[in-house]
């Protein structure tokens, strides 16, 4: 009996695969690490072939599921982009990661078009999104666009690439397409004016599909993919959020604050959560460096990431702030010119103060975005649903509740991107209406508002210093 959904979550640092039964039980799970390269400052690349291999490996390691798999769900990192040859399926160059900033100069050159780009796509003109990356890759591979217009080349995000290799189809799910900065949100189609602006012939683009449109059969499994979502969108779906009013925070390499509802684009981006089949609009604020900040400092101090978090939370507050604008600042500032800085230190500052500053930076950046969400929606976000690997740390989640002054709800399973994709895939395959949820734990704020305000004010002063070159 086909009673299992297999879901793959292809992320920046690893590929995870889970097998989920109709009762909601995870009967098997596998994690395969993937590499990431930083060949020069501002450049972030991954090996596209390695990503495919990681997915195939993860699926193979789930164990003997013959005859029990009804469908596959897919969750992926989003704005990363690559170009491949249609006839061979061979990638032509590296995949440019979502954190890659090599196109910052091009973004500045197009700054006069930022208003038009935001009005059409809901997104700020920024190197994080796929359009500038695709344009850069085509300039390297096909500068006169002859091969592109002839249909010899294909471009896409990670979901497009994996589906092309696993099913032979060149397609992109609508929520992922909304992150390319080439999609008109209102029209639900590629925008001809933006394709011209970014120098991308429509012939290279994948076909737009609903989030739950079944694919061709997956090689080796013999079942279709019936649910595709961007990782942040999958986490929102996995929390069971289907109506406006609730917000989730995903803690990862970066952090994403997302909720359902339509807003005027500003500090919060306007985007598509999913189309299943009706389109659900969402708002989102993207933080470029959160978990990656902790990983970096843990390497510098010779600690594990867990040890760094524990050291920081064991340490009293100090005057030190760390603003991790290593690739500029994302939401709510969207300031590519901001510089990473450490303030308030002296010759007596030690490891514990730096660790505390790094942990605080993760939480305080989230509160900056939550405040922007309050403004965008006209209502204070009182409850935050949290997920992602770091969310498994009780003390870190409590720290989030304390420094935001909001109630934080954490599900029993924090890897919700895979479970969200599984939930959608299983619903489309007819196994359930919604994947049965597990227990949750609630964390309420315990720190006085006076202390929290003073800490936030000091943080905002550090952010202003990080942005000094831009705002002065």
**Tokens linked to 333:** 């500032």
Cis peptide preceding 332, ω within 30 of 0: yes
209 Cα distance to chain centroid: 20
**pTM of the complete model:** 0.89
Give the DSSP letter of residue 202. Answer: G
Give the contacts of 206 (CB within 8 A, at least 6 positions apart).
Answer: 154, 155, 156, 160, 164, 170, 171, 172, 177
Q: Are 373 and 380 in contact (CB under 8 A)?
A: no
What does the alpha-carbon distance between residue 272 and residue 179 come to, in Å, rounded to a whole number? 8
Structure confidence at residue 470 (pLDDT)? 60
84 within domain boundaries? yes
Coil, strand or helix at 186? coil
Structure confidence at residue 141 (pLDDT)? 96
Nearest to 360 by CA among 316, 392, 329: 316
Structure confidence at residue 439 (pLDDT)? 77
Number of C-alpha atoms within 13 angstroms, CB side, residue 334?
Answer: 22
237 within domain boundaries? no
146 within domain boundaries? yes
Q: Are 233 and 286 in contact (CB under 8 A)?
A: no
What does the alpha-carbon distance between residue 197 and residue 131 come to, in Å, rounded to a whole number? 10
Q: What is the pLDDT along the chain (472 residues), one digit of tens a residue?
A: 788 999 999 998 899 999 999 988 899 999 999 999 999 988 999 999 999 999 999 999 997 787 899 999 999 999 999 999 999 999 999 999 998 999 999 999 999 999 999 999 999 999 999 999 999 999 999 999 999 999 999 999 999 999 999 999 999 999 999 999 999 999 999 999 999 999 999 999 999 999 999 999 998 889 999 999 999 999 999 998 888 888 999 888 889 899 998 887 778 889 999 999 899 999 999 898 888 899 999 999 999 999 999 999 999 999 999 999 988 998 899 898 899 999 999 999 999 999 999 999 999 999 999 999 999 888 898 899 998 888 899 999 999 999 999 999 999 887 789 999 999 999 999 999 888 777 789 999 999 999 999 999 999 999 999 998 665 5
Q: Which domain holds residue 150?
A: 4-230
Give the contacts of 28 (CB within 8 A, at least 6 positions apart).
Answer: 18, 19, 62, 63, 65
Domain tally, the chain: 1
Coil, strand or helix at 432? coil
232 C-beta neighbours (distance < 10 Å), count = 31
Burial of 25 from C-beta contacts in 10 A (0-12 / 13-18 / 19+): exposed
159 within domain boundaries? yes
453 within domain boundaries? no
Q: Are 251 and 390 in contact (CB under 8 A)?
A: yes
Give the contacts of 204 (CB within 8 A, at least 6 positions apart).
Answer: 83, 134, 138, 148, 151, 153, 154, 155
Coil, strand or helix at 198? helix
56 within domain boundaries? yes
* Radius of gyration in angstroms for the set of CA atoms belonging to the chain, rounded to a whole number: 21
**Tokens linked to 386:** 């949290």
Largest CA distance in the chain: 66
What does the alpha-carbon distance between residue 262 and residue 240 come to, in Å, rounded to a whole number? 18
Q: Are 228 and 422 in contact (CB under 8 A)?
A: no
414 within domain boundaries? no
- CATH at residue 54: 3.30.420.40
What does the alpha-carbon distance between residue 309 and residue 290 come to, in Å, rounded to a whole number? 12
What does the alpha-carbon distance between residue 256 and residue 249 come to, in Å, rounded to a whole number? 6
């Amino acid at each position: 009996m086909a009673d299992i959904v297999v879901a793959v979550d292809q992320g920046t640092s690893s590929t995870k695969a889970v097998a989920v039964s109709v009762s909601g039980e995870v009967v098997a799970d596998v994690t395969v690490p993937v590499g990431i390269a930083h060949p020069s400052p501002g450049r972030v690349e991954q090996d596209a072939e390695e990503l495919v291999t990681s997915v195939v490996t993860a699926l193979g390691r789930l164990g003997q599921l013959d005859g029990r798999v009804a469908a596959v769900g897919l969750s992926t990192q989003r704005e990363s982009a690559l170009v491949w040859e249609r006839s061979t399926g061979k990638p032509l160059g590296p995949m440019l990661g979502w954190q890659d900033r090599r196109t910052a100069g091009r973004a500045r050159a197009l700054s006069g078009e930022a208003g038009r780009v935001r009005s059409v796509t809901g997104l700020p003109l920024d190197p994080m999104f796929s359009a500038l990356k695709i344009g850069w890759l085509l300039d390297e591979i096909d500068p006169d666009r002859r091969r592109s217009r002839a249909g010899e080349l294909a471009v896409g995000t990670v979901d497009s690439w994996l589906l092309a290799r696993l099913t032979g189809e060149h397609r992109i799910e609508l929520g992922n397409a909304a992150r390319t900065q080439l999609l008109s949100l209102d029209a639900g189609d590629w925008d001809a004016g933006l394709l011209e602006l970014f120098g991308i012939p429509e012939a290279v683009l994948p076909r737009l599909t609903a989030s739950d449109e079944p694919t061709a059969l997956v090689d080796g499994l013999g079942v279709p993919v019936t649910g595709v979502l961007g990782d942040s969108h999958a986490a929102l779906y996995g929390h069971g959020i289907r109506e406006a009013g609730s917000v989730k925070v995903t803690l990862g390499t970066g952090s994403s604050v997302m909720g359902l509802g339509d807003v005027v684009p500003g500090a919060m981006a306007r985007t598509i959560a999913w189309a299943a089949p009706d389109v659900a609009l969402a708002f989102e604020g993207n933080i470029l460096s959160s978990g990656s900040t902790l990983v970096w400092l843990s390497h510098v101090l010779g600690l594990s990431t867990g040890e760094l978090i524990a050291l920081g939370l064991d340490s009293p507050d100090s005057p030190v702030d760390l603003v991790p604008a290593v690739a500029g600042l994302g939401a709510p500032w969207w300031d590519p010119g901001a510089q990473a800085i450490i303030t308030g230190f002296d010759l007596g500052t030690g490891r514990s103060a730096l660790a505390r500053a790094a942990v605080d930076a993760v939480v305080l950046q989230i509160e900056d975005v939550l405040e922007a969400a309050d403004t965008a929606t006209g209502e204070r976000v009182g409850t935050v649903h949290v997920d992602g690997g770091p969310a498994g740390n009780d003390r870190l989640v409590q720290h989030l509740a304390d420094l935001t002054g909001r109630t934080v709800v954490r599900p029993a399973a924090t890897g919700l991107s895979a479970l969200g994709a599984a939930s959608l895939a299983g619903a489309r395959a007819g196994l359930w209406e919604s994947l049965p949820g597990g227990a949750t734990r609630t964390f309420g704020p315990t720190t006085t508002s006076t202390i929290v305000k003073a800490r936030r004010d000091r943080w905002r002063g550090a952010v202003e210093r990080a942005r000094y070159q831009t705002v002065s």
